Amino acid sequence: MLDYNLSKEDMFYAKQFSELIKFPTVTRSGSENFAKMREKYKELCPLVWQNCEFTLLEEDVVILKWKGKSSDKPLVLMGHQDVVPAVGGEWTDPPFSGVIKDGKIWGRGTGDDKNSVYITMRAAEELMEQGFVPEQDIYLSYSDSEEQFGYGVENAKKWYVENEIKPNLVIDDFFAISRSN
């Protein structure tokens, strides 16, 4: 559960985000729920999926390339779609319910890390609605296995190397920031 202190204006975002919480994208649980969540993202952020080059790596690693004015110093915004299993704990509502009540969104992934994935994709969608073109290419890079062993990140890293993409700045989970230079 993450307390968002929702206003009426924020309900649009809260309702969209709560829809994403309903997908039990537990690490190594198979691709079905990840694929369903991708379809929901395509519905919620259609411009991102229309305007970005989409790559799906082994398992369910998603990379969306938003072409900028230049490819010299690309930015990578990372997050992960997977969650840990919802075993035990004191859940007042089912862990994949996405219930909105008392100004809070309840469910597995609200704080780690479906929020980062939604925020970056929603921001890109709204910027695209305004006709914004970034100065540099932006890669939205979403792993499927951060919660256990992180093999998805390794798959993404390998893809960036193979495609000779050298990020100038990488922001991961909005907690770790790395800069090459």
- Residue 106 in any domain: the answer is yes
Nearest to 67 by CA among 84, 92, 48: 48
| pLDDT at 37 (0 to 100) | 97
- Residue 172 in any domain: the answer is yes
Phi-psi region of 18 (alpha: psi -120 to 50; beta: other; left: phi over 0): alpha
| Digit-coded pLDDT (tens) for 10-58 | 889 999 999 999 999 999 889 999 999 999 999 999 999 999 999 999 8
Annotated catalytic residue, options 137, 144, 146, 172: 146
- Residue 92 in any domain: the answer is no
- Residue 90 in any domain: the answer is no
pTM of structure: 0.90
DSSP H stretches of helix in the chain: 11-21, 32-44, 46-51, 114-129, 151-162
Paired strand residues for 104: 3, 101
| Digit-coded pLDDT (tens) for 82-123 | 999 888 778 888 999 999 988 788 899 988 889 999 999 999
Annotated catalytic residue, options 60, 82, 112, 172: 82
- Residue 17 in any domain: the answer is yes
Mean pLDDT over 145-167 rounds to 89
What range does the domain containing 67 cover? 2-84+97-179
Banded pLDDT at 164 (limits 50, 70, 90): very high
- Give the count of domains, the chain: 1
- Residue 151 in any domain: the answer is yes
- Residue 89 in any domain: the answer is no
Is 82 annotated as catalytic?
yes
Q: What percent of the chain has pLDDT over 70?
A: 91
Is 137 annotated as catalytic?
no
Q: Which residue do the tokens 């991961």 mark?
A: 172
What's 108's domain CATH number? 3.40.630.10
